[in-house]
Amino acid sequence: MYNRDCMTNAIENVEDILLDSLEILGTERVEDPGCIQYGDLVLTIAPKNQTNFALFVFVDTQEGKANTLLADHLFSPALLLAERIERGLVEVAGRSIIELGAGCALPSLLAATLSEPPRLVVVTDYPDDVILGNLRSTVERNKKHFRPPCVVRCQGYEWGKDASSLLHLSENPDGSRGYDVVIMSDLLHFHSSHNALIHSLSSLLVKTPRARVYVAAGTYTPRAVRQNFLDMGSRIGLVWESDSGTSGQGNEDEDKEDIEAASLWLGTRVIAGIDATQLGVRKGMCRWWVGRWHFPDIKGAVDGITVV
């Protein structure tokens, strides 16, 4: 059992910490509106007033720890990944994409609007009526912008659980299953969720040389927590490229000029209510990694996680 009031306060504190990380130019605080427009896409976030601030608490009875799903904000890593997709730095044409913990699903839905779109986009989030209802509404609202022959699906999925239904959606004409691209935007906050994330990633990312997982996290997620996830991925056979061009934790030791250069916003689509300076600051507060399978290193099981 747990004290609901205490957990609610803890959740609100997490939210405050993350939002405080988005302060820009002195005391200006960046608040995400309920509706976000990125180019032609109109996205909504799960409403706070219907879902205990849309922050869901799950108590692990074995570990006595609580995880939260932060579904009521467009966090900066989603903007970073969207910018990279817009710039053609993420290979999506003709591929199958799945986004875990999608929230408003900006990166994956943006991919569906490109002139050379994926063949399939599946957006997933925790199977809650409010979260999924918002996500389905977002998909329906924007379907006129999706380029054929891209098919966009929405499905509830809890990390670490059986992924058979998602794999069924990914089935190729030759009968093989698995996704060419897995998108994970701002999912690394909680150390205790990493086992489940790695299990899902292992199940969903197809075992081919071209398969890629794109991971982005805010610097408000502690370095050690981010590194834990990367280390777990390495142990199941993933090789990481980071924003510094090397495997490992990224460019946090770069000098100020390098960081400022990397923080320039290079997207061209108009984002309502956020100017280029703000976008650059938000981008600079993120780190990204691209993972691929190194086939000789794929193991059968690591820390109780079976690689399938």
For residue 179, the model assigns a pLDDT of: 97
For residue 245, the model assigns a pLDDT of: 63
pLDDT, mean over the chain? 80
Q: How far apart, in Å, are the Cα atoms of 83 and each of 111, 123, 269, 292?
A: 10, 18, 9, 21
Identify the DSSP state of 75. -
For residue 295, the model assigns a pLDDT of: 76
Place of tokens 């093989």: 176
Number of Cβ within 10 Å of residue 176's Cβ equals: 12
Q: Residues 6 or more apart from 12 whose CB is under 8 A from it? A: 53, 55
Number of Cβ within 10 Å of residue 169's Cβ equals: 15
Place of tokens 């209510």: 273
pTM for the predicted model, two decimal places: 0.80
Length of the chain measured in residues: 308
Average pLDDT of the residues in 31-60: 64
> What does R_g of the chain's alpha carbons equal in angstroms?
18
Count H helices, E strands: the chain?
A: 9, 13
Average pLDDT of the residues in 207-233: 96
176-190 residue pLDDT tens: 899 999 999 999 999
Q: How far apart are CA 90 and CA 229, in angstroms?
A: 21
